[in-house]
Structure 1
Amino acid sequence: MKIKDRLALYFTLTSTFTLLTVLFAIYFTFLKFMESDFFDRLTDRTMVTAKLYLEADEISSAALAKARGQYLETLNGERIRIYNSENSPVFIDDRGRFWSTKIIERVRKEKKLKFKDGTSQVVGIFYKDNQGDFVIIASATDQSTLYRLEKLKKVMIFVFVTIFIGLLLSARWIAKRTLRPLDHFIDEVKQIKSSNLHFRVHEGDNRDEISLLASNFNKLMEHLEQAFVLQKTFISNASHELRTPVTSMMIGAEVVLAHERSPEEYKQALVSLMEDAEKMNSIITELVSLAQADVEYGSSRLQDIDLKELLASIAKEWQDVPSSGALVLSLDEYSGHDAVISANETLLKIAVNNIISNAFKFSDQGPVSCSLISGKDAIVIEVADNGPGINEVEQAMIFEPFYSSPKKQEHKGTGMGLFMARKIIQLFKGTISLRSSVGEGSTFIISFPKF
């Protein structure tokens, strides 16, 4: 059963139970009220009977006539009996005993008694008079109340059926309307395939449970997309990039072993093999680092990172690298009180170090400046070098995996550093861009949104 059907059913059952409770309460309240009212009327009949039959000799003719006129109406199925001290009926022409001695004695004992006898209601009173002690018992059937109760029952059944149908239909409509965002969410999820993992479902503006579900689903899709990108990177590029140095090593070895060589030629062949092996090792190292970045991001918790402290730590580490140039750190341009983002410190260090390393490499270990700048809506890190610059064609490709500039063979690397840096920065909701002109150096701009 679908959720909307269950919600409609539960709502209808709960509302129906409440309605039944209210209807039964109304019915039995009305029933008890009418019974109490009819008992009061029977009690009045017994008192009138006592006045008429037992004290008629003590009141005037005018008062007797007034009492008879006031209580002349006969109730449905009315029976009235007066019993003397010997429990024998007196005064009334019908000498039938009608009620048992047990009931009569019970009235004497309790002084006043009310009970039901089938559909009839009975009232008995003990009346002490100068002529003796008497028990007066009156009974009648409240036909009018029974008729009203029957009408009330029919009305209640009609109202119950009408409201039940109304509740069922309205509950179905409310459930369908309430869960419409969930239906929309399901329809959007059905559109996700391996070819469009970048697709994100609409989260809505209500901030309800469905919106939270969509938000968490989108976060899950971000992780899946990153894992899928990593897989595609290995499948499409790793085999080719690893096969190239291996093939070069095999060909070089076959050529050397084809004929006897001089010690110098063997030495040159081994140097060439070592270079290819080092290149392959670098590629493997970069691939493992990229995979580790995904693993660490997926398993670690984000924490608040102060970028000023992070950059100061990175600058201190580069001071201890003898082969690198000078890293000029500038924090004065940042006017904010703090520069805190939510990230993983290890991964963020890898990304920034890759960019700084790239700047040193392409500026021939010349000085590199690193600045922290406060933007209107973002915290910006700029890494600038004085290298040869990058033309527009290459700028569109430098963040692609395994890309190396063919014009700079002396600086050729694995082509994974900038790709991994961009990947890590994007994981933490940041962006990276490049500003460069040929002959004027390059500036990498990392931007993180403010909290």
Structure 2
Amino acid sequence: MLIRHKLMLRFTLLVLAIQLGFSAFVYYFSANTRALRFQHRLVNSATLAGRLLVRTHKLETGRLGSLRRGDLLTLPGEEISIYGPDNSLRYSSSDHIDQLANLARLADVGPGQQLSYPARGRRETVALAFPPDSARGYYRIFVSAEDRTGRAQLRQLSLLLLLANLGALLLTIAAGWIFAGAALRPVSRISRQASRLSATNLGRRLSEGNGRDELAQLAQTFNGLLAGLEQTFEAQRSFLSHASHELRTPLTGLIGTLETALAYDATLPEARQSMAQSLEAARRLSALTNGLLNLAKADGALPAFVPVRLDECLNQALQLVRASYPGREWRLAFQALPIETEADLFTLPGNAELLTTALLNLLDNAGKYSSGPVRTEVAYADAQTLRLRVRDEGPGLTVEELERIYEPLYRSAHALSRPGYGLGLPLTQRIIQRHGGRLELTSTPGQGTTATVWLPAAPL
């Protein structure tokens, strides 16, 4: 079901429920008021009969004079029955009144009481003791009648409420349709604008309307997503451009060397020199391919994490870089360690191979560019976070270079003269992110670079 139809249906049902509740209240209030008003009229009729017949002692003497039975009847279908103190019938307005019901009610009517009884069909009945303040010698008067006018008015009210609800229902459906259309019009506009977006025009943005309501927030969220997609596409285009260039260089050299060797090498030394050059180009190509595969592996599915010692991964990485840079000084310090704990320090859930690779890349970059000692610090930032910091004394990075340093195959100006392909930091960042951590680089040109890693630690 379309959202417009859902909104219209819910709006209609809500308004209909309110209408029916209000109509039921009006009908109940009117019916209750009619019953009380007619009951009051019956009581007045009974009181009048008591004053004319009981108080004048006409029932005691049996002399009604010129009073006829019909003279006391003022209501449609009215019937009056009067019983004396001895429970005998002293007066009835008609010979056809069912006195069995009145006789069954005699015991209920005590001194000063006034009772009303549930209606039988359309006939409603009240009974009272007269005089109301007499403890003995009182009469019981029963009066029943039909409220034809009141019930007719109640039927008219029912018909009016029915027609009003039907009319209001039609108007509510129309209003719901218009309201849903107006409410969803900005959504339709956003949908049309989004349908015109593609990979070639990700720079376009959706209209944010008034900038305050929920639809504006939705448009802002889409625009943020588009900005991220645009950056991703730009990074992918840059990656493809750099990758094609980096792959083309060793491939071109390899093919050129082999073609030259095939055409001109006539002696074994010449052939061996061509083979050596081809082998070096193949090694560069293999190293670049392995770097790209590792980058893809870091983005793929990882095996289940197990408890890993960060200090052991760091020691393995330090052994490797010491062998690669034997003339470099490597300093390691442990700081801000928990004083009282029985748990294993520097433990975190992760993958030891990937963490060792990430730390090796950070140390390798520091050793490659630093002109002085490389300082590595390991500490607890807090009880739940491990912090590792690698500082070098290299040429540093500019602000513009720091903004692009995590792009695959991007290399800073000082890195162009050094071996590498610009895959180490992007790979390191993704490995740390997959472990729930964060990598931050700070640098000052001419003073060096500091890489700081935060990783979630196992509970102490």
- TM-score normalised to the size of structure 2? 0.61
State whether residues 393 and 449 of structure 2, in contact with CA within 8 Å, keep that contact through their aligned partners in structure 1.
no
Aligned to 2:333: 330
Q: 1:290 aligns with which of 286, 295, 299?
A: 295
State the SS of the aligned residue for 1:443. strand
1:27 alignment partner AA: Y
State the SS of the aligned residue for 2:422. coil
State the SS of the aligned residue for 1:34. helix
Cα 1:254–1:175, aligned 2, differ >3 Å: closer, same or farther?
closer
State whether residues 11 and 171 of structure 1, in contact with CA within 8 Å, keep that contact through their aligned partners in structure 2.
no
Aligned to 1:268: 273
Deviation per CA, 1:412-448: give whole Å up to 9, x if none: 22232234445667886654243232xx6x3234476
Q: 1:353 aligns with which of 360, 363, 373?
A: 360
Aligned to 2:17: 17
Q: Gapped runs of 5+ residues in structure 2?
A: 84-88, 109-116, 131-139
Aligned to 1:320: 319
Q: 1:58 aligns with which of 43, 57, 60?
A: 60
Cα 1:414–1:139, aligned 2, differ >3 Å: closer, same or farther?
closer
Cα 1:257–1:115, aligned 2, differ >3 Å: closer, same or farther?
closer
Deviation, 1:302, is: 10
Q: Gapped runs of 5+ residues in structure 1?
A: 128-133
Deviation, 1:288, is: 0.9
Distance 1:191 1:343 in 2: 44
Q: 2:243 aligns with which of 228, 238, 243?
A: 238
Q: Are 1:383 and 2:415 counterparts?
A: no
1:14 alignment partner AA: L
State the SS of the aligned residue for 2:409. coil
Aligned to 2:42: 42
Deviation, 1:230, is: 6.7
Distance 1:278 1:225 in 2: 35
Deviation, 1:266, is: 2.2
Aligned to 1:368: 374
Deviation, 1:45, is: 3.7
Aligned to 1:28: 28
Q: 2:445 aligns with which of 431, 436, 439?
A: 436
State whether residues 298 and 431 of structure 2, in contact with CA within 8 Å, keep that contact through their aligned partners in structure 1.
yes
Instruction: Give me the identity figure in percent.
Output: 20
Cα 1:210–1:106, aligned 2, differ >3 Å: closer, same or farther?
farther
1:434 alignment partner AA: S
1:432 alignment partner AA: L
2:374 alignment partner AA: V
Aligned to 1:143: 149
Distance 1:12 1:273 in 2: 79
Distance 2:362 2:204 in 1: 26
Distance 1:345 1:223 in 2: 29
State whether residues 124 and 137 of structure 1, in contact with CA within 8 Å, keep that contact through their aligned partners in structure 2.
yes
Distance 2:299 2:207 in 1: 23
State the SS of the aligned residue for 2:300. helix
Distance 2:193 2:298 in 1: 30
Cα 1:409–1:269, aligned 2, differ >3 Å: closer, same or farther?
farther
State the SS of the aligned residue for 1:369. strand
Cα 1:255–1:422, aligned 2, differ >3 Å: closer, same or farther?
same
2:291 alignment partner AA: E
Distance 1:344 1:220 in 2: 30
After superposition, the CA RMSD in angstroms is 6.2
Aligned to 1:131: none
Deviation, 1:183, is: 8.1
1:24 alignment partner AA: A
2:79 alignment partner AA: I
Aligned to 1:130: none
Deviation, 1:7, is: 3.8
- TM-score normalised to the size of structure 1? 0.62
